[in-house]
């Protein structure tokens, strides 16, 4: 019987091959027999060498990783609309790969018994299957034959998570510097030096007739073959090889290899008979080829929909992995990563603003709190944010608040789409409590500072790490000033903040053994965030606030500043700075390895060296906690 659920399934299936080729009546029939399965992240769909199910699968939501167990390598990642697990059913063989949910996923299981006759009858469907098996790709109609559907012997070199940049349009220098055929080489060299370029275009009647590169200068002039007064026409390489400006990185690379040249001239229509619009060097191609922050920023800024940003965030993770592999300093990695994350957030806000009917009625600022606020967010985590807007007349307030709440709802939804989970404590600007006018925020923080109960201290510790992601910095500065004024008047607040910072559980026990979680889903795991990172982060916050230093959000930078302010403690503070970076790196590596937040660590999986490294940071944690406790006389307070 057809029902709303089978309609829902059919509506989805008809968008993807091979189902788009089925007749409506058959699609409906098939949809009624579908089995909808939910898999938690990491959940097993089928294991290697398992006898095939009665179903093959199409990903409705989430992503499934196909893995070869022998080398634990991800062979392919299937996203929304991709089918997998079909060939074993057709070939009557066991599964060759293991399939696990890479993210939380919903799969539609298509019963092979019903599908098979349809595939035999319908030529288009049959062809799709034959082609997909023959080419070994999941979807032979897709433009990109990325990844392979089924594992085989030579599937080992495939990079699972797409290098999507190969097919991105090239970015070329649009400012074309040129000379005429009659220009003397001396002049040409001067022009190139002035513009700091390695190649120059020779134009005649605005049309490109040749190119001169650094290499020509070296080979033809410096060797004395030609005098430096010879005209450009005698030196230039010609005829020019021209290409249209819309070409992909891969095309450009191939063009260069084919003609054995290092510079391509791009013209309006791709022939030498139209105006030159740019010049593309081998270097430009190299830059585009690697996962490269500049290219990613550009791509993010081009996004017009939230959805387009999601795959770019995946590339960011690649970049991160690459940086870690190359052992680039954590401080630098964090800077680049938070810059990229910030760009994503900014773009989401820009898209959200487009969705609003009117421009914002007054100036506002979007604040990122927590780890993103501190520029320490490496992996995908929850979103913590707040919105602050200029004070308005009382009569306008309800209307203005409503505007910003609506905007915030769009933004938090957008952030959710690109992979920031909703904050379980609802510390988000879409919550009316975190979307306030300047005066309301002032009142709120004053209240926290003058009534520092445990909750107020917790709130302040999250909120006070804010950082402006978007909007007006002036409004935010006013709020920061206010916070410092308040804390100066109520220094007792630091005592409470310090005591809050000391309440994180200790990382090691009496016998210096690691303390692990006692129950819950992470039983016997070590909580790296709560037991090691948070104590350092919290301590840095209290100390830097007590020095009234603003504008430094980052924990290790806070410690570096503290070392400068208190030379007698500089050794400890520098140790803290180092420990924070080390722990964050540790967490990031663990997170990437296990595709999670990296917060909980299975100690038995660590090698000896890693354990020692970890334990070494604990000594520093203990010392900084002692310093806090003495300085703010926390022992006087009932804990």
Instruction: State the residues that interact with other proteins by CB under 8 A.
Output: 1, 3-9, 11, 31-41, 61, 104, 106, 109, 413, 416-417, 422, 424-427, 433, 455-456, 458-459, 519-521
Nearer to other proteins, 40 or 121 (CB): 40
- Minimum distance from CB of 416 to other proteins (Å)? 7
Nearer to other proteins, 187 or 409 (CB): 409
Nearer to other proteins, 224 or 520 (CB): 520
- Minimum distance from CB of 411 to other proteins (Å)? 14
Euclidean distance between CA atoms 220 and 224, whole angstroms: 7
- Minimum distance from CB of 593 to other proteins (Å)? 19
Nearer to other proteins, 49 or 455 (CB): 455
- Minimum distance from CB of 437 to other proteins (Å)? 19
- Minimum distance from CB of 311 to other proteins (Å)? 17
Residue with tokens 């190969």: 166
**Which residues is 74 bridged to in the sheet?**
67
Structure tokens at 130: 């034959």
Q: Within 10 A of 32 (CB to CB), how many other CB atoms are there?
A: 16
359 phi/psi in degrees, rounded to 5: -70, 160
- Minimum distance from CB of 601 to other proteins (Å)? 16
- Minimum distance from CB of 495 to other proteins (Å)? 20
Nearer to other proteins, 1 or 134 (CB): 1
- Minimum distance from CB of 43 to other proteins (Å)? 8
Using alpha carbons only, give the angle 124, 129, 134 rounded to the nearest 5 degrees.
125
- Minimum distance from CB of 344 to other proteins (Å)? 18
Q: Report the interhelical angle of 534-546 vs 473-489 (nearest 10°).
A: 80
Residue with tokens 């949910």: 101
Nearer to other proteins, 306 or 618 (CB): 306
- Minimum distance from CB of 536 to other proteins (Å)? 23
Q: Which residues make Cβ contacts (< 8 Å) with residue 107, sequence separation at least 6?
A: 36, 37, 38, 39, 45, 57, 58, 59, 60, 64
Nearer to other proteins, 133 or 422 (CB): 422
Nearer to other proteins, 288 or 401 (CB): 401
3-state secondary structure of 209: strand
- Minimum distance from CB of 6 to other proteins (Å)? 5
Are residues 336 and 381 in contact, defined by beta-carbon separation less than 8 angstroms? Answer: no
Q: DSSP assignment of 494-560, as one string? A: HHHHHHHHTTSPPSB-TTSPBP---SSTTTT-EEHIIIIIHHHHHHHHHHHHHTT--S---HHHHHH
Nearer to other proteins, 57 or 172 (CB): 57
Euclidean distance between CA atoms 297 and 339, whole angstroms: 9
Nearer to other proteins, 413 or 631 (CB): 413
- Minimum distance from CB of 3 to other proteins (Å)? 5
Nearer to other proteins, 31 or 139 (CB): 31
CA–chain centroid gap for 119, Å, is 40
How far from each other are the two terminal CA atoms of the chain, in whole angstroms?
64
Nearer to other proteins, 382 or 557 (CB): 382
Structure tokens at 55: 């179903």
- Minimum distance from CB of 425 to other proteins (Å)? 4
3-state secondary structure of 248: strand
Angstrom distances, CA of residue 174 to CA of 169, 203, 204, 246, 582: 14, 15, 19, 13, 42
Using alpha carbons only, give the angle 566, 571, 577 rounded to the nearest 5 degrees.
90
Angstrom distances, CA of residue 469 to CA of 299, 340, 369, 390: 18, 11, 10, 16
- Minimum distance from CB of 105 to other proteins (Å)? 11
Euclidean distance between CA atoms 235 and 221, whole angstroms: 8
Euclidean distance between CA atoms 551 and 569, whole angstroms: 22
Helix ranges (H only) for 595-638 are 608-631
Which residue pairs from 397-404 have beta carbons closer than 8 angstroms and sit at least 24 positions apart in sequence?
397/437, 399/361, 400/361, 400/362, 400/437, 401/432, 401/435, 401/436, 401/437, 403/356, 403/358, 403/360, 403/361, 404/360, 404/364, 404/429, 404/435
Nearer to other proteins, 386 or 575 (CB): 386
Structure tokens at 281: 């060097």
Sign of CA dihedral 385, 390, 396, 397: positive
Are residues 146 and 155 in contact, defined by beta-carbon separation less than 8 angstroms? Answer: no
- Minimum distance from CB of 398 to other proteins (Å)? 19
Are residues 441 and 403 in contact, defined by beta-carbon separation less than 8 angstroms? Answer: no
* DSSP code, position 429: T
Query: 472-485 as b/e, with b when 16 or more CB fall inside 10 Å?
Result: beebbebbeebbee
Nearer to other proteins, 519 or 609 (CB): 519
- Minimum distance from CB of 329 to other proteins (Å)? 32
Nearer to other proteins, 187 or 416 (CB): 416
Nearer to other proteins, 79 or 214 (CB): 79
């Amino acid at each position: 019987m057809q029902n709303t659920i089978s309609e829902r399934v059919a509506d989805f299936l008809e968008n993807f091959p091979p189902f788009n080729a089925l007749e409506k009546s058959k699609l409906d029939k098939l949809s009624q027999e579908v089995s909808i399965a939910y898999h938690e992240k990491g959940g097993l769909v089928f294991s290697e060498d398992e006898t095939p199910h009665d179903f093959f699968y199409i990903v409705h939501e989430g992503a499934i990783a196909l893995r070869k167990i022998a080398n634990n390598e991800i062979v392919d990642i299937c996203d929304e609309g991709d089918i997998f697990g079909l060939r074993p059913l057709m070939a009557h063989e066991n599964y060759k790969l293991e399939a696990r949910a890479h993210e939380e996923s919903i799969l539609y299981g298509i019963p092979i018994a019903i599908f098979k006759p349809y595939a035999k009858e319908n030529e288009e469907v049959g062809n799709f299957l034959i082609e997909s098996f023959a080419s070994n790709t999941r979807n032979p109609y897709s433009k990109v034959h990325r990844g392979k559907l089924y594992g085989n012997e030579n599937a080992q070199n495939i990079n699972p998570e797409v290098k999507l940049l190969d097919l991105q349009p090239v970015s070329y220098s649009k400012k074309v510097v040129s000379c005429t055929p009659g220009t003397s080489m001396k002049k040409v060299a001067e022009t190139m030096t002035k513009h700091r370029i390695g190649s120059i275009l020779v134009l005649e009647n605005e049309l490109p007739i040749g190119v001169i590169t650094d290499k020509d200068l070296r080979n033809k002039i410096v060797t004395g073959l030609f005098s430096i007064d010879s005209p450009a026409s005698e030196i230039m390489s010609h005829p020019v090889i021209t290409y249209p400006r819309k070409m992909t990185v891969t095309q450009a690379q191939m063009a260069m290899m084919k003609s054995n040249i290092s510079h391509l001239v791009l013209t309006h229509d791709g022939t030498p008979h139209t105006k030159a619009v740019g010049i593309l060097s081998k270097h430009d191609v190299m830059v585009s080829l690697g996962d490269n922050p500049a290219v990613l920023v550009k791509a993010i800024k081009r996004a017009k929909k939230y959805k387009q940003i999601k795959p770019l965030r995946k590339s960011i993770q690649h970049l991160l992995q690459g940086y870690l592999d190359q052992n680039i300093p954590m401080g630098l990695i964090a800077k680049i990563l938070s810059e990229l994350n910030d760009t994503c957030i900014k773009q989401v806000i820009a898209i959200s603003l487009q969705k609003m009917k009117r421009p914002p009625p007054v100036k506002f600022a979007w604040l990122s709190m927590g780890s993103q606020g501190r520029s320490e967010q490496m992996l995908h985590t929850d979103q913590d944010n707040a919105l602050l807007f200029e004070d308005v007349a009382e009569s306008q307030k309800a209307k203005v608040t409503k505007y910003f709440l609506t905007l915030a709802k769009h933004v938090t939804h957008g952030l959710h789409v690109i992979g920031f989970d909703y904050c379980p404590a609802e510390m988000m600007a879409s919550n009316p409590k975190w979307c306030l006018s300047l005066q309301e925020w002032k009142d709120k923080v004053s209240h926290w500072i003058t009534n520092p109960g445990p909750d107020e201290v917790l709130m302040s510790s999250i909120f006070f790490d804010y950082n402006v992601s978007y909007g007006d910095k002036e409004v935010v500065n006013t709020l920061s000033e206010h916070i410092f004024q308040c804390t100066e008047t109520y220094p007792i607040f630091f005592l409470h903040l310090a005591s809050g910072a000391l309440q994180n559980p200790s990382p090691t026990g009496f016998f210096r053994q690691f303390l692990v979680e006692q129950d819950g889903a992470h039983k016997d795991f070590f909580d790296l965030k709560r037991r090691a990172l948070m104590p350092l982060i919290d301590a840095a916050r209290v100390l830097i606030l007590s020095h009234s230093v603003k504008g430094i959000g980052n924990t290790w930078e806070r410690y570096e500043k503290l070392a400068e302010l208190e030379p007698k403690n500089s050794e400890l503070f520098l140790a803290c700075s180092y420990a924070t970076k080390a722990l964050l790196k540790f967490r990031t590596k663990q997170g990437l390895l296990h595709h999670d937040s990296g917060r909980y660590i299975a100690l038995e999986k660590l090698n000896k060296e890693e354990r020692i490294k970890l334990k070494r940071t604990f000594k520093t944690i203990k010392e900084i906690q002692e310093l806090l406790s003495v300085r703010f006389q926390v022992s006087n307070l009932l804990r």
